[in-house]
């Protein structure tokens, strides 16, 4: 980071507005990502505040859920109400215990238009991620493909039997889906078998309260959404493909959903 680069002040918030923050940094011009398991499941796009410019303007960082694993060098923090993964906080002196910001939570920054920067190879550090044991189910129906997935900590696990190989998905830019980095498919609910549901998840609804966004209480990963009083989605569950273990998202044909422009438009809560 160049000391001479002009600084821009950015503002951000979780979806429900319980936690708001500001920070200063050189203009964000690239999407900086990491290929480790937690970053991949959460779809983080990382930003680094300049110095100690990160400031909480509403809420309390200590009230966020903090998730650590492995050598516990980085605490991943998310809102316990809406599940927005907001930041990481280094826990080692060599990193100055500085904050990293998930810029998906930054206001008025269209990160969909940012070119992808270098991908940090976080997967090369520490022990390889070990997915939890798959959910035992009946034999795979003839002609179907079994997909096994989970949140990061393993509290929420599922098996999906899909009639065919998954080759397409939807990437929605609405206020909640973009924050959660969800890559959606919409299987019949009967094709899914869960472990840890509903006890291990928190449900979050807003606006018309027809979509129940479900994330792990422990690690914050957005796993699925179910629907009530929503005729078009009757009998279906939205499943976040980022949570399918070992799945290559790069193999998908991705349809861009423009949920951002659906009425009523999202407004940052007061």
Q: What is the pLDDT of residues 32-72, one digit of tens each?
A: 999 999 999 999 999 999 999 999 999 999 999 999 999 99
| 55: enclosing H helix or E strand | strand 55-58
pLDDT at 29 over 60: yes
Percent of the chain whose predicted confidence (pLDDT) is above 70: 98
Q: Which CATH architecture has domain 7-123?
A: Beta Complex (2.170)
Where exactly does CATH 2.170.150.70 map onto the chain? 7-123, 145-261
Are the CB atoms for 213 and 83 separated by under 8 Å? yes
Q: Which residue has the tokens 């991943």?
A: 76
- Mark 233-242 as b/e (b = at least 16 C-beta within 10 Å): beebbbbbbb
The candidate with the shortest Cα–Cα distance to 32, out of 43, 41, 24, is: 43
- Reported as a single tens digit per residue, the pLDDT across 214-265 is 999 999 999 999 999 999 999 999 999 999 999 999 999 999 999 999 999 9
Tokens of 83: 């599940």
pLDDT, position 2? 47
Q: Identify the band that residue 3 occupies on the pLDDT scale cut at 50, 70 and 90.
A: low
The answer as to CATH 2.170.150.70 being correct for domain 145-261 is yes
Q: Is-contact 10 106, C-beta < 8 A?
A: yes
**Which residues are CB-contacts of 244 (< 8 A; sequence separation ≥ 6)?**
147, 148, 149, 160
Report which of 235, 30, 238 is spatially closest to residue 117, judged by C-alpha positions: 30
Counted residue by residue, the chain has a size of 270
From the list 217, 174, 179, 175, the residue with the least C-alpha distance to 197 is 217
pLDDT band at residue 138 using 50, 70 and 90 as cut-offs = confident
Does residue 1 register a pLDDT over 50?
no
Q: Is the pTM of this model over 0.75?
A: yes
The torsion of the CA quartet 31, 11, 213, 122, rounded to 10 degrees, works out to 30
Cis peptide before 230 (omega within 30 of 0): no
The predicted pLDDT at position 92 comes to 82
The three-point CA angle 83-90-175 to 5° equals 25
């Amino acid at each position: 980071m160049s000391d001479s680069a002009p600084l821009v002040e950015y503002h951000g918030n979780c979806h429900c507005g319980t936690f708001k923050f500001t920070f200063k940094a050189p203009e964000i011009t690239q999407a900086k990502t990491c290929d480790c398991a937690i970053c991949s499941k959460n779809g983080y796009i990382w930003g680094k505040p300049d110095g100690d410019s990160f400031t909480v303007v509403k809420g309390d960082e200590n009230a966020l859920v903090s998730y650590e694993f492995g050598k516990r060098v980085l605490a991943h923090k998310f809102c316990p109400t809406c599940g927005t993964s907001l930041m990481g906080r280094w826990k080692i002196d060599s990193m100055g215990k500085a904050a990293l910001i998930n810029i998906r939570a930054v206001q008025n920054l269209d990160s969909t238009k940012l070119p992808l920067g270098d991908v940090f190879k976080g997967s090369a550090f520490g022990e390889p991620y070990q997915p939890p044991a798959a959910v035992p189910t009946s034999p795979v129906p003839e002609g179907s493909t079994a997909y096994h997935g989970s949140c990061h900590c393993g509290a929420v696990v599922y098996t999906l039997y899909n009639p065919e190989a998954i080759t397409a998905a939807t990437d929605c830019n609405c206020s909640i889906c973009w924050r959660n980095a969800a890559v959606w498919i919409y299987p019949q609910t009967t094709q899914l078998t869960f472990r840890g549901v509903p006890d291990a998840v928190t449900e979050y609804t807003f606006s018309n309260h027809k979509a129940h966004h479900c994330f792990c209480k422990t690690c914050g990963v957005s796993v699925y959404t179910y629907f009530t009083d929503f005729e078009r989605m009757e009998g279906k569950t939205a499943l976040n493909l980022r949570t399918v273990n070992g799945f290559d998202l790069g193999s998908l044909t991705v349809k861009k959903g423009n949920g951002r422009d659906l009425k009523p438009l999202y407004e940052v809560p007061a």
